[in-house]
Amino acid sequence: MTTARDLALASLSAINANDKQRWLDLFEEDGFVQDPVGVSRFDAEGKGHHGKAAISAFYDLFKQSMKTLDYTIHHSALGGDEVAAYVTLHITTHDGQKFDAPVLNVYRMSPNGKLASLRSFWEGG
């Protein structure tokens, strides 16, 4: 049986592999992403990216400055159809700069076993 934790791992793995289609396929058609939650350079209104077309556009914007993205999962807590995961993203930019970004991701699974939402809490967005 698929859990929200399984989907979280699949999401991080797809992003690490630069596999946009595999990442998009994890989401429901009406899924949404807030990354980060609130107003940011990725989301001027702070309302998130709703639907696959908007999630796809977000992916392109998010990944455009990254050459690589790896991750370390420090802890995750599963509750019902959601999981909260404390993760450090290890990012390398196209010009070779490296930095770490601590994030708290909350993934919600739909009744169909897909991602209904991804909400990412981090500062500096």
The token duo for 88 is 């450090």
3-state secondary structure of 8: helix
Domain spans of the chain, in order of start:
4-121
- Residue 124 pLDDT greater than 80, yes or no: no
pLDDT of residue 123: 85
Indicate the pTM of the whole model: 0.94
Chain mean position to CA 34: 8
Higher-scoring residue by pLDDT: 62, 109: 109
* C-alpha–C-alpha distance, residues 50 and 31, integer Å: 6
In the CATH hierarchy, which fold is given to the domain comprising 4-121? Nuclear Transport Factor 2; Chain: A, (3.10.450)
Strand stretches in 3-112, DSSP E:
27-34, 49-50, 66-79, 82-93, 98-109
φ, ψ for residue 41, nearest 5 deg: -65, -15
- Residue 125 pLDDT greater than 70, yes or no: no
3-state secondary structure of 45: coil
The residue-averaged pLDDT of 43-48 equals: 91
Q: What pairs with residue 69 in β-bridges?
A: 91
pLDDT in tens, 8-31: 999 999 999 999 999 999 999 999
pLDDT in tens, 49-80: 999 999 999 999 888 888 999 999 999 999 99
